[in-house]
């Protein structure tokens, strides 16, 4: 089989973890980057879940598309399934993305399953920030995850106004808490 593409919208953009021959900015239409997945292990607990990113319906999402050599297809897909499908909150889909070069390619994407119990739904930035603030899991504090994501998006010159609003609310709450100490 020939080469294939993988679309990254979160940590896959700066830590793909798989071999690729080319990376290019890309836009996925019909889905948006959102803190819409309750995290019970890595960024929260069952009793106090955090929020992590998912691709949810609506809008569009700018991310990165990675071209993977066809002879690595099995190895890379196995790796991605182990990484992304642990709790089955994401569905593996092949969707069209528009590369910055103007080419349209089919890319492997991981889209949130809205029927899954970890799906948190659409929420405003204020509610998302409240859910993130003060939660922590095996991989560390949830606010660090969100702010780290924003730093990486900024370095890649990718704007996400809703996520930036969440981040600003987290920074404000943290600064306020520090003043109160």
Spell out the residues 6+ positions from residue 30 whose beta carbon is closer than 8 angstroms to its own: 57, 58, 59, 60, 95
Spell out the residues 6+ positions from residue 90 whose beta carbon is closer than 8 angstroms to its own: 54, 84, 110, 111, 112, 113
Mean pLDDT along residues 85-94: 94
Mean pLDDT along residues 129-141: 95
Q: In terms of residues, how long is the chain?
A: 181
pLDDT at 134 over 70: yes
Structure-token pair, residue 15: 């830590």
146 pLDDT tier (thresholds 50, 70, 90): very high
pLDDT digits (tens, 9 = 90+) for 1-34: 799 999 999 999 989 999 999 999 999 999 999 9
pLDDT higher for 60 or 173? 60
Mean pLDDT along residues 171-176: 81
pLDDT at 153 over 70: yes
**pLDDT > 70 fraction of the chain, expressed in percent and rounded:** 97
Please give the pLDDT value at position 179.
Answer: 59
Do 166 and 174 meet the contact criterion of CB atoms below 8 Å apart? Answer: no
Q: How far is CA 161 from CA 34, 120, 124, 155, in A?
A: 11, 19, 12, 15
pLDDT digits (tens, 9 = 90+) for 117-128: 999 999 999 999
Mean per-residue pLDDT over the chain, rounded: 94
Please give the pLDDT value at position 175.
Answer: 72
Neighbours of 153 (CB within 10 A): 22
177 pLDDT tier (thresholds 50, 70, 90): low
CA–CA separation, 124 vs 165, rounded Å? Answer: 9
45 pLDDT tier (thresholds 50, 70, 90): very high
Domains of the chain from N-terminus onward: 4-180 (3.10.490.10)
């Amino acid at each position: 089989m020939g080469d294939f593409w993988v679309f990254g919208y979160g940590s896959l953009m700066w830590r793909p973890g798989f071999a690729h021959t080319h990376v290019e900015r890309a836009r996925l239409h019909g889905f948006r980057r959102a803190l819409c997945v309750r995290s019970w292990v890595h960024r929260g607990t069952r009793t106090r879940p955090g929020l992590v990113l998912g691709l949810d319906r609506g809008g569009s999402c700018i991310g990165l598309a990675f071209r993977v050599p066809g002879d690595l297809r099995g190895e890379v897909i196995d790796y991605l399934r182990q990484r992304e499908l642990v709790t089955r909150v994401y569905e593996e889909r092949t969707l069209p993305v528009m590369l910055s070069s103007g080419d349209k390619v089919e890319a492997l994407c991981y889209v949130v399953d809205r029927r899954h119990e970890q799906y948190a739904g659409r929420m405003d930035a204020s509610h998302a920030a409240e859910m993130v603030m003060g939660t922590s899991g095996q991989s560390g504090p949830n606010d660090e995850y969100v702010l780290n994501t924003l730093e990486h998006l900024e370095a890649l010159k990718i704007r996400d106004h809703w996520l930036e609003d969440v981040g600003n609310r987290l920074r404000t709450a943290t600064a306020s808490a520090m003043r109160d100490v």
